């Protein structure tokens, strides 16, 4: 499975997860060989901070993503994704 397929699967999983600030402190979703966990951290005006982990047999990526509405404001990443892949993952996360 290539990384774009993983990101697509993650996006589908996140949509299914229904990530919203009113959600529980932490939510996980497992589907088709991957696991996605997100945890709402805080809000400051229009900025919302999330901890996010994507795991499958190819990669584990831990991120802190700060969204400004549906756009990425900032992110930090630890894991197997390249800078470009992590940026794409952050963008997909904030677009939900």
Per-residue pLDDT tens over the stretch 32-73: 888 889 999 999 999 999 998 988 888 889 999 999 999 999
Assign 78 a pLDDT band (cuts: 50, 70, 90): very high
Measure Cα distances from 3 to 9, 29, 73 in Å.
10, 19, 23
User: Does pTM top 0.85 for this prediction?
Assistant: no
Assign 74 a pLDDT band (cuts: 50, 70, 90): very high
Does 25 or 76 have the greater pLDDT score? 76
Q: What CATH architecture is 3-95? A: 2-Layer Sandwich (3.30)
**Domain locations in the chain?**
3-95
């Amino acid at each position: 499975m290539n990384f774009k397929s993983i990101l697509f699967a993650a996006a589908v999983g996140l949509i299914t997860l229904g990530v919203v600030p009113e959600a529980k402190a932490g939510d996980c979703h497992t589907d088709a060989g991957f696991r996605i966990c997100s945890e709402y951290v805080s809000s400051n005006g229009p900025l919302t901070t999330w901890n996010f982990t994507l795991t499958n047999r190819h990669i584990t990526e831990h991120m802190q993503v700060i969204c400004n509405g549906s756009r990425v404001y900032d992110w930090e990443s630890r894991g197997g994704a390249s800078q470009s892949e992590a940026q794409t993952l952050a963008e997909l996360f904030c677009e939900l």
